[in-house]
Amino acid sequence: MQPAIDHHAALIYVMVLAAAVDRKMSDRELQMIGGITALLPVFADFDRNRLLEVSKDCAAVLDQAKGAEAVLDLVQDALPAHLRETAYALACDVIAADRRVGETEVRFLDIVRRRLGVGRLAGAAIERGARARFMRL
């Protein structure tokens, strides 16, 4: 059994998992994770010096058998209900950051949405917002 994590780690775990789902963590995705932790109010009291440590902890869980499921279990247990849509939005933003959304990422987002109890309508709105934020000419 994995040790419990706090809400900051849970949000970071979701972002790391989103970046790793296609087996390639792009520089854009990693920069997005760093930028999110620097700017969003939910991370205002997070010690950013812990970002690498928390990311490595997530990677260690991912390296285990059924690692993605274990990460989602930890996230689900750690996140209060009012941060679940936030977690889903962060996953969408990280996936949208490299401007390539493949079938693997789409399936991953559906799994995360269902595991976190984000409704279809709310999920679609969050996804559309991410798409709009990363649109280019």
Number of H helices, E strands in the chain: 7, 0
Q: Which of 12-21, 35-44, 98-107 has the lowest mean pLDDT?
A: 98-107
Predicted pLDDT of residue 103: 83
Q: Which two tokens stand for residue 34?
A: 């760093």
Predicted pLDDT of residue 137: 79
Angstrom distance (rounded) from CA 11 to CA 101 = 20
Residue 72 and residue 17 in contact, taking contact as beta carbons nearer than 8 Å:
yes
How many Å separate Cα 42 from the centre of its chain? 14
Q: What number of residues does the chain have?
A: 137
- Name the band, by pLDDT with cuts 50, 70 and 90, for residue 77: very high
- Name the band, by pLDDT with cuts 50, 70 and 90, for residue 30: confident
Mean pLDDT, residues 14-38: 86
> What are the residue ranges spanned by the domains of the chain?
7-132
Q: What amino acid is encoded at 125 in this protein?
A: A
Give tens-digit pLDDT for 43-74: 999 999 999 999 999 999 989 889 899 999 99
Predicted pLDDT of residue 125: 94
Give tens-digit pLDDT for 83-122: 999 999 999 999 988 777 778 888 999 999 999 999 999 9
Residue 4 and residue 78 in contact, taking contact as beta carbons nearer than 8 Å:
yes
Q: What pTM value is reported for the model?
A: 0.91
- Among candidates 26, 21, 11, which has minimal Cα distance to 99? 26
